[in-house]
Amino acid sequence: AKDTKYNELPAYKSLNLNTTYSIKENSNAFIKIENLLNRKNIVNRGGGTSENLGYKSPDFSLFIGLKFEN
């Protein structure tokens, strides 16, 4: 990837998983995992004066829940 105003950045890769299980006709259970490998990436350089500024990718996240429909 290339940030045209600043420097070339490495490619941004992330492993995400999600699945849904139907409990009944109108209800589902779900699990969602984002950034399973917990990779630290910078997705864009910030416009500051320090080399350490940048927009970092989200850390590992886990979502578990139920969804009900009418």
* Interval 21-66: pLDDT, tens: 999 999 999 999 999 998 887 666 665 544 555 566 778 999 999 9
Tell me the pTM: 0.64
pLDDT number for residue 9: 66
pLDDT number for residue 49: 46
Q: CA 4, CA 2: separation in Å to the nearest integer?
A: 6
Q: CA 27, CA 67: separation in Å to the nearest integer?
A: 6
pLDDT number for residue 14: 85
Which pLDDT band, with edges at 50, 70 and 90, does 13 fall under? confident
